[in-house]
Amino acid sequence: MERQWWEKPARVIQTNLQVKDTPGMSAGRLAEDVVELGGNVLAVNVGGIYAWYDSQVPYHHINEWLPEGRDLLGEIVEECHQRAVRVIARFDFSKADDSVFLQKPQWFVRNPDGTPHAYGVERPGPWSILYSTCINGGYRNHGVAAPVLREALGRYAFDGVFLNAPNYEPCFCENCREKYRRTFGEELPMEWEREASAGASPTFAHRRGIAGVRPEWESLCYRDNIQLMRETVQKAAPGVPVILYFKTYGEDLDARAATADILCAEAQDVLSQGKRDFTPFWLPTLNAKYGSVPEQMPAPFGIIHSCPGMDWRHAGLPEAEYRSWMSRVAANGANLWHSVTGFKETIGDKRLFHTIRAVNQDARQVEEAMEGAKSAAQVLLVWNGTKSAEGWLEGLLNTQIQFDVEDELRFDAERAGRYEAVIVPAGGRLLEKKRAELERCVKRGVRLVIEECRADQAREAHEFLGIGEEVQGGGELAAAYWRFERETFRRNLEETVFLPHRGETLYCAASPSEDTAVEATLVPPFAPLDGVGAPPERASLPAEHTELPLCVTRKMGDGAVLYLPFAFGQLIGEYGLPDDLYLLENMIDWALMGRREFCMEPYPGLEAVLYRTERGTVLHLINSVGQRPLMRTVPLEQVEFTLRLPKEAAGGKEKVKVNVLLGPGGAVLRQDGDVVTVTVEKVEVWSAVEVTWKDTEV
């Protein structure tokens, strides 16, 4: 059966057209630009805030700069299809023109005092005011959104529908109050939370939550609205997929997947926040891995905007930085989606085109070898969106350990059992909500690395964690140390006794059992922070040794548990000490019982992603070494890794071969039994290396 276009590799160009540039647009040139940049899909503005065609739907504001006597949107669709370029229709019903607000004020978001939420009031120039629309109001539902979708899809042969900014925005209007009352039998709380939502970007810093609101309210409103729009699309254009954003923080991934045909996520490299607050380098990787969790769905789209922050959207990211981010998307199995402001003639930074073209060419070069590829990860990171989870993610990437991610809310023993090691970072609720699933995993042979620094949760699960029932919170520690008690985790750390330690730490004791071992203990603070520097005569440790464990291992069934009574991942994320990376690597080696299939010396800034294929394996290497923002790529030479072969390859008749699919130079392979060592001559930005042992030509 022929696969749909979205089930094949896609390279999307999204133009983010500006209405005042409409008179200078040429449909033919726009379509040709997509092809010239190596794209095969165009995401184009269609409706919502502006109609890019002669809409007949009341209150659908038409772009005033559309040419008379021509159907520009129709021309774009036709020109693209003539070049085998698919067209995704972009709609944004999150805001509407003030002319609509004056006619239908009941459709818009209201603050507790009844005032509307105006957007961009101080924007310079002759612009009308935009107002945020309510997710439960008519504009986003039967009043405008549904008839616009029916109209546009009935008129044009779009290949996909992308709903931009479809999210719930807190609202206190009568529609919301009535729906809340009808749903929960109580009144909608009418006060803002005191602080903005944690982790909100500068663009949406104004978006505080509603104090005391039911936690399921947001997802319920979103589900109802998106379900209507998706059903409208399915009826108007059967078979046309709906593309929706997903969030990697604080969202039920299954609930979001149930409302979409394809998922997408945007990783903005917001350099405009300043060096201390750069967007983490790993965000494109997280989005790609997390968006791939729902196995019934096609590969997600990874959106990267070309600008260094929306406040600088008319400038481009540094080429090396931009290329690194986009390469991470494709190397981690997502489809590339390039988002730019305008079209070729209006974009001032022409360097963007070189970078987009280069990455698209790279992606095309590995498509054939990646056909049917599956992750070769042995480790599963349970993602809960905490600082510790972020640190584990960063640490795993910087040690080139192969891992997948799983949404904490959808964790189950069956999927986790496909992996040899599972990591549960501190701050989530998995131990509290699904301890039985965790125990089942371990008994079946999984080795679990788990953090828990909340006394009540550790006390409740003390037997499982390998500690006694008496557990107390030790508060935030500083000037403290990790002391090795055994050799289990000392590879590359043999000549040091102590490692730096700080943060929230529990005081507990290991269970007196032959199945339990204390691997490391706490050396308590030698001084308060105001006394650590002077006088040195008082810097001696008051207690060089305690029986308070910082690391406990416990055998259980066919598996084992490694318990950390503190947020080790947070230490990695905040301080990035090399010794912590060695310690992380040793923990993973313990969990995999020394049987890592892929291994290389830790190289922070180099990402390695390994896949299994019908021919053997494909390894992607993404080079982001250097101080951000990356000014230039620093080539790496003689990059070496080892690969443990499956039994049929180690003792088979076929010769194991290596082939560089992408990147400069060649590679040399040496085999010793079931282990091959590969040396890649040179890695610039993105290299891909294929190791094969099947009967096929290389």
Indicate which CATH number applies to the domain containing 509.
Answer: 3.40.50.880
404 occurs within a structural domain: yes
Out of 596, 628, 645, pick the residue that ends a domain. Answer: 596
219 occurs within a structural domain: yes
* 461 secondary structure, DSSP code: T
| Whether 559 and 452 share a structural domain | yes
| Whether 311 and 424 share a structural domain | no
Q: CB-based burial of residue 273 (10 Å sphere; 0-12 exposed, 13-18 middle, 19+ buried)?
A: middle
| Whether 435 and 581 share a structural domain | yes
Between these two residues, 697 and 499, which has the higher pLDDT value?
499
Classify 23 as helix, strand or coil: helix
390 occurs within a structural domain: yes
| Whether 550 and 625 share a structural domain | no
Give the strand pairing for 616-623 and 606-612: antiparallel
Residues 6+ away with beta carbon under 8 Å from 542: 524, 526
Tokens standing for residue 200: 């909100």
Tokens standing for residue 103: 């006619």
Measure CA of the first residue to CA of the last residue in the chain; give whole Å: 28
| Whether 65 and 214 share a structural domain | yes
For residues 180 and 186, what is the distance between their CA atoms, to the nearest angstrom? 7
Average pLDDT over residues 602-627: 97
Out of 567, 596, 625, pick the residue that ends a domain. Answer: 596
| Whether 63 and 199 share a structural domain | yes
CATH code at position 75: 3.20.20.80
pLDDT on residue 197: 53
pLDDT on residue 695: 64
DSSP secondary structure letters along 280-342: PTTHHHHHHHHHT-STTSPPPEEEEESSSSGGGTTS---HHHHHHHHHHHHHTTPEEEEE-SS
| Whether 382 and 367 share a structural domain | no
Residues 6+ away with beta carbon under 8 Å from 287: 248, 265, 266, 267, 300, 302, 329, 334
For residues 142 and 91, what is the distance between their CA atoms, to the nearest angstrom? 15
Q: Which residues pair with 302 in a beta bridge?
A: 265, 336
For residues 522 and 550, what is the distance between their CA atoms, to the nearest angstrom? 6
37 has pLDDT over 80: yes
Residues 6+ away with beta carbon under 8 Å from 214: 180, 184
209 occurs within a structural domain: yes
Average pLDDT over residues 100-105: 98
pLDDT on residue 34: 98
Calculate the CA dihedral of residues 25, 31, 32, 33 and round it to 10 degrees: 70
697 occurs within a structural domain: no
| Whether 312 and 390 share a structural domain | no
For residues 189 and 192, what is the distance between their CA atoms, to the nearest angstrom? 9
Q: Which residue has the tokens 């951000």?
A: 628
Nearest to 306 by CA among 315, 296, 294, 297: 315
pTM, full prediction = 0.95
Out of 596, 611, 631, pick the residue that ends a domain. Answer: 596
Contact 266, 423 (CB under 8 A): no
What's phi and psi for 63, nearest 5 deg?
Answer: -55, 115
Contact 317, 356 (CB under 8 A): no
At 553-579, the pLDDT tens digits run 999 999 999 999 999 999 999 999 999
pLDDT on residue 650: 72
At 318-366, the pLDDT tens digits run 999 999 999 999 999 999 999 999 999 999 999 999 999 999 999 999 9
162: confidence class by pLDDT, cuts 50, 70, 90: very high
For residues 411 and 208, what is the distance between their CA atoms, to the nearest angstrom? 29
Nearest to 241 by CA among 5, 3, 512, 481: 5
For residues 543 and 525, what is the distance between their CA atoms, to the nearest angstrom? 9
Domain that includes residue 412, residue range? 377-596
651 has pLDDT over 90: no
392 has pLDDT over 60: yes
534 occurs within a structural domain: yes
Classify 177 as helix, strand or coil: helix
Domain count of the fold of the chain: 3
| Whether 605 and 592 share a structural domain | no
At 214-237, the pLDDT tens digits run 999 999 999 999 999 999 999 999
| Whether 574 and 604 share a structural domain | no
Contact 486, 493 (CB under 8 A): no
Report how far Cα 338 is from the mean position of its chain's Cα atoms. Answer: 16
| Whether 624 and 560 share a structural domain | no
698 occurs within a structural domain: no
Q: Which residue has the tokens 């970007």?
A: 201
> Measured at the alpha carbon of residue 373, what is the angle toward residues 295 and 679, in degrees to the nearest 5?
135
Contact 144, 232 (CB under 8 A): no
Residues 6+ away with beta carbon under 8 Å from 94: 48, 49, 132, 133, 140, 164, 165, 166, 167, 169
Q: Which residue has the tokens 């997802």?
A: 219
Give the strand pairing for 95-97 and 130-132: antiparallel
CATH code at position 665: 2.60.40.1180
120 occurs within a structural domain: yes
| Whether 618 and 585 share a structural domain | no
